[in-house]
Structure 1
Amino acid sequence: MRGAAGYALTAAVVLLAGCGGPAAEAPADRPPSPSSSPSTPATPTPADPTSSPTTTEEPRPAPVGADDFRVGRAEAVVRHLAGTIGPRHGTSPAFARAVRWVDAELAGLGYRVEQQRFRAPGGVSWGVPVPAGTSVNVVATPRGFDPARPHLVVGAHLDTVPQAPGAEDNASGVGVLLAAAHAAAQRRTRLPVVWVAFGAEEPRGPTDDDHHYGSRAYVAAMTGRERTAMQGMVSLDRVGVGATVPVGSAGASDPVQQSLLEAARRARVAALPEAESRSSDHWSFVRDGLPAARLGSTSYAAYHSPDDVPAVVDRAQLQRTGRIVLAWLSPSG
């Protein structure tokens, strides 16, 4: 019995050992634990060295047109120049004040502004002695302007005779100039525009050579390439009186006058052609062989007098003139 019992015990131990061995192994196809075997990171796709970053083009400005003129801006200029500053002959402290103000207005619109200084002689201006001194043209150009490339000039004289506040002669012209410059600042014109507020236009003597000093200085400073590039000039002079807009040519007629008359037609403004019109700054250009014409010149009772105050200027006539200017500058013409 003892031998049989020992055999049985031995057999039981063998059976238990046989059952326990295979159960302790993990199956061969079980996936490894994430913590015990890290995964291989994905390889990034290299950037294409020939590709370029995406760029967004700035939208092209809308074209300027007659409907963009805001007459209230022109009226405000008339009130400031004639009402606040008052008489401002071309070498006076009041004129210097007007220069600073116009300079700041144009610079505030984003134009590049320069002051072109020149000497004006002493003399007698409409019966009143005026001293010699330095006068100034305020010249504003758009950013990136190249004077050797085709462009236009719009000008208006800033000075007055000594005794006149100069609402019509010529705060009206400067008012239309600044309001038109405001409209054109953020819009597209058919050619770049130079805006000029001329000094010392008013007479300092009896002859043709005794006035228009500022525009003559401007023309004298033009280079040969600039003269070739300038496609036309318009002088805004006494543009706030009347029911039709005079369009003056220094001769019988000229292409600039005709283009202004066509602009008036497009702007739906009544305009009247005038021949032999030479009593404004456009004459300095024409007499030197450059294309130019004038808007304005209707006669009025307060001319060159203390009565030339803002009340003389007609809002509707400023509007008519401004519409012609912007139609002339418009690429849609």
Structure 2
Amino acid sequence: MKKKITVSIIAMLFSLLTIVGGASAQTVTYKPSLVHKNGAMAYEHMKYLAYEIGSRVAGSVNERKAEEYIESQFGRIGFNTTVQDFSYTRSGKTTESSNVIAYKPGKSNKQIIVGAHYDSVSLGRGVDDNASGVGILLEVAEVLKNIPTPYSIVFIAFGAEETGLRGSDYYAKHMTQKEIENTIGMINMDSLAVGDNMYVYGSPGEAGFIRDQAIEIVKKKKLNVGTNPGINPEYPAGTTGDWSDHAPFERLGIPYGYLEATNWEIGDLDGYDQTVKHGGVWHTRNDTLEFIESEYPGRIQEHLSTFSTLLTDLLKFMDKTSTSK
């Protein structure tokens, strides 16, 4: 009897560790039904990163906790995952960070990179910037796990974006020429939760096929997503600036797509003022669930659901055959 009790206690402790995380990595489980409601699983990932972990400054203990959480979630979903460590020196201080990479084989060996950064600034909780993007990254990876896709997909959670796109820059610089030629595009997600409007951007001209195909999905599904209207001549219609993780790939000649929520029709017309009511929320103390859900009830849920639907369909049906690179 004593032996059975001991075994039961050990099993119970193991079960608890599976829920709250072990010493080296966190393994959090969720109800499988969440993945059947667009945006629901993304919300849970976003909330965990922002509240169970908190702000995730590059090189901090919390950024490492976020890396472990993301790696464990890719593992729970069923992906083989690689952690790409890197370091950089800034003002004489060396900081260590990492990228978390999961690979999904597709019908073609040609691949598309889908990424979002998981670090944040110290102010607020980093809900919008960018737990929201990582939430969609993980949700869509789970939705598509057993669905054949036209191209293979490289899901990447980038570290240290806030200190100069360090993770995406490191990854891009270490791609071989063969990998670059094999990559049809890169889709970036950054700050999806709070902006007044939902947008998809892309490379100029024919290289903007990701944006163009996303807009076709938007029309078909009647999603509330637009693109940069081009009011500011520095940022032509349909494109955006080079301030996020798509930029290092664009410099390699890889076409990009970019999902974001902001407002291009206020302030300096450059997308930095996200809302009419409160201006920018990213990089402020207001980047919390309490503030966003109080000031904009239902907005987070609408945005996560919409972006999840759009990205899922885009990756399921993407067709580059009519474009050139």
TM-score above 0.5, yes or no: yes
Give the RMSD, CA atoms, in angstroms: 2.4
Deviations 1:14-61 (A, max 9, x none): xxxxxxxxxxxxxxxxxxxxxxxxxxxxxxxxxxxxxxxxxxxxxxxx
Counterpart secondary structure, 2:317: coil
How far apart are 1:248 and its partner, in Å?
Answer: 2.1
- Which of 242, 246, 249 is 1:285 aligned to? 249
Letter in 2 for 1:136: S
How far apart are 1:243 and its partner, in Å?
Answer: 5.6
Distance 1:112 1:103 in 2: 9
2:220 matches 1:266: yes
- Which of 159, 167, 170 is 1:214 aligned to? 167
Alignment of 1:1-333 (within 5 A): 70-122=38-90, 131-142=93-104, 149-203=109-163, 211-242=164-195, 244-249=197-202, 251=204, 254-274=208-228, 275-298=239-262, 299-300=274-275, 301-311=280-290, 312=292, 314-331=300-317
Q: Which of 322-331 and 311-320 deviates more? A: 311-320
Distance 1:154 1:199 in 2: 14
Letter in 2 for 1:281: D
Instruction: Report the TM-score, using the length of structure 2 for normalisation.
Output: 0.72
CA contact (8 A) 1:232 1:292 kept: yes
Q: Percent identity?
A: 26
Distance 2:153 2:281 in 1: 32
Letter in 2 for 1:121: T
Deviations 1:99-127 (A, max 9, x none): 0000000011111100011113335xxxx
Deviations 1:136-159 (A, max 9, x none): 0000013x689x920111100000
How far apart are 1:219 and its partner, in Å?
Answer: 0.8
CA contact (8 A) 2:118 2:158 kept: yes
Instruction: Report the TM-score, using the length of structure 1 for normalisation.
Output: 0.70
CA contact (8 A) 1:83 1:310 kept: no
Distance 1:94 1:112 in 2: 23
CA contact (8 A) 1:91 1:134 kept: yes
Letter in 2 for 1:247: V
How far apart are 1:162 and its partner, in Å?
Answer: 2.1
Distance 1:223 1:149 in 2: 15
CA contact (8 A) 2:42 2:139 kept: yes
List runs of 5+ in structure 1 lacking aligned partners.
1-66, 124-129, 204-210
Letter in 2 for 1:221: H
Distance 1:279 1:269 in 2: 26
